[in-house]
Structure 1
């Protein structure tokens, strides 16, 4: 049974999944200005990536085919000065690898618990993925470490895993406020 739509649906609904800002054409170059940090980034850095433009009171998703042109299906949208743009943030590679390697139930429980604490997977500052260093041995066990920052609080997550005769995923969430939460998923 394929659960990919469930995972992708969960990624779609994550808070702070996008970098939003406006674009301007300066000296024949399109420049993206991050609305939060005011950092200037050349739009050509987003070529062939999914980009959204705000038009007619809604976000239109497409691929930045060439600077200044967004392909939305068979349509081509010409970008204009001061258009509102948003670009999906990239997950930290080690976190992406970790999320891809855990089973569906553990993934769902981890992400929904993280979200219930008002954090997003896109808030990850650091991820140590010990699982990625283990060879294809039958028995895998250890701990992964993640740190998340949502601008209001910090959350440290320890993922204790044991994959052998039984599968065990235990996530320990600790916030800088002292609040702690532990969830565990066991599969025989």
Structure 2
């Protein structure tokens, strides 16, 4: 599995964008997020991937200063009241964890998570114990990850043993009481 494959999995995740409205007040651009019902300065999202809804389609680009979005083909100026989507970030600790696990474990984890109705972008907490183990020869422990899809919460325990073989065990527990366990072994 290549980095392109992992990247494609991440791009296909639901809820990877926050949707809202662009508002221009007192010489400042704001982003009013629909789900959060709060506003933040659009300047906070400079150089982030952003989509603007125009003429019945979403146009993708990168946000620059003064409400300008640069796409591969043109520059677009955001207008007051435009519907926009801003790419969410993955929690830094979760992003590091995903880089550490094998391709097989990554695929199994994201597939199980998606099948349960969650997205990588639903993560609200991640304790990545792997980062504390540094260059130790034997790495063993548990990572804790919490996801919230707006309906239910899912707690994941990632038990790992990395020595001559890599062993990853993911235990998913939903707030409804449903539980599943998946394991990945790599020689």
TM-score (norm 2): 0.96
Structure 1 residue 173: deviation in Å? 0.6
**Distance of 1:144 and 1:165 partners within structure 2:** 20
TM-score (norm 1): 0.95
**Distance of 1:50 and 1:126 partners within structure 2:** 23
Unaligned runs of 5+ in 1: none
Structure 2 residue aligned with 1:114: 113
**Distance of 2:122 and 2:9 partners within structure 1:** 15
Task: Output one character per residue of 1:37-79: Cα deviation in whole Å (capped at 9) or x when no partner.
Answer: 2211111111111111111222111111212211112411111
Coordinate RMSD, CA, aligned? 1.2
Contact 1:143 1:159 in 2 (8 A): yes
> SS at 1:67's partner residue?
helix
> SS at 1:144's partner residue?
strand
Structure 2 residue aligned with 1:130: 129
Structure 2 residue aligned with 1:31: 30
Structure 1 residue aligned with 2:166: 167
Runs of 4+ in 1 over 6 A off after TM superposition: none
Q: Is 1:44 the equivalent of 2:43?
A: yes
Structure 2 residue aligned with 1:81: 80
**Distance of 1:45 and 1:166 partners within structure 2:** 43
Task: Output one character per residue of 1:84-122: Cα deviation in whole Å (capped at 9) or x when no partner.
Answer: 111011111111110111111101100110000001111
Structure 1 residue aligned with 2:71: 72
Contact 1:43 1:67 in 2 (8 A): no
Structure 2 residue aligned with 1:141: 140
**Distance of 2:43 and 2:132 partners within structure 1:** 35
Structure 1 residue 81: deviation in Å? 1.2
